[in-house]
Amino acid sequence: MTAERRLAKLEEALSPTQLVLRWLAEAHALGSLQAYVGSILDVPGDQQPIDRLCREAHDGVCARLRGKPAEQVRKAVRSALRETVFRFELVMRIYVMAQELLDREGLIDAALSAHLSLLTFQEPSPANYAARLTRLRDLLAFRVGELHAAQQARTIVEERYLDGRGALFPDVAATWDEQVRSTEGIAAMAVRLAELDGVPPAVPTDPEALSRRTTDLVADLVEPAKSTALEKLGEGQRALGIASDWVRTKLAPTAVACGESVTESDVTQRQAGST
């Protein structure tokens, strides 16, 4: 058997997840999304990543089911395409949401750090010093919780759909770690200042509230990726149903932040469904 034939056999055996992970490894090798996009600008349309992945998923199913009834092959191909495109869109969704949070968090860190410094060194101390310091300390704790919930949600999704492979490009992953350290450092400074000034300790974060927030963030990653994948595959009605269900959870009277109580949530049940 020739090397080309052996390679073709191996490719036939790749699952949708494995196909996407192979593409992801190729993309990550360039270090950043910008570098990767630059590398494929001149690639013909039918060789672009999503087109190639779909073709490989299609060809792999047809090869594995050669000789089987046409209807069985059609259903298997459709399922493989859904799973492949969904995972591709999920990687993009993870990247976009992480980058948006990093951009926002950098500005928030700068504002809160400046506010904390001004409050600390203001002479004489304002009459509402303790109350303002308490609010700053609690807000910083909230931001740390948001980062941890987002990171946990991403980990859950990567384990569930990407065999645990990290979706973030190396440059963004490094920036994320740096941002978490920065926010945690400012929060720790606020806690220490509050202790030194005799401010009452903060109320401990409710672990269940953090868990619920993480579940909501999982849905924010998965549901739009599902909807987008189905829309691209011509299943607009199904895509609209998923998108509508997700939007309804955002409009429902539920908390959207760590530490707030949640009155209802059906996200966990929906996450039990398959792609």
Segment 76-124, tens digit of pLDDT? 999 999 999 999 999 999 999 999 999 999 999 999 999 998 888 877 7
**Cα separation, 154 vs 162, whole angstroms:** 11
- Residue 155 CB neighbours (<10 A): 14
Amino acid at the residue 159: E
- Residue 272 CB neighbours (<10 A): 6
As a whole number, mean pLDDT of residues 205-231 equals 92
**Cα separation, 164 vs 123, whole angstroms:** 52
- pLDDT tens, residue by residue, 31-83: 999 999 999 988 888 889 999 999 999 999 999 899 999 999 999 999 999 99
Task: Quote the pTM value.
Answer: 0.83
In the prediction, which pLDDT does 58 show?
Answer: 93
pLDDT-above-70 percentage for the chain: 87
Contact (Cβ atoms closer than 8 angstroms) between residue 275 and residue 82? yes
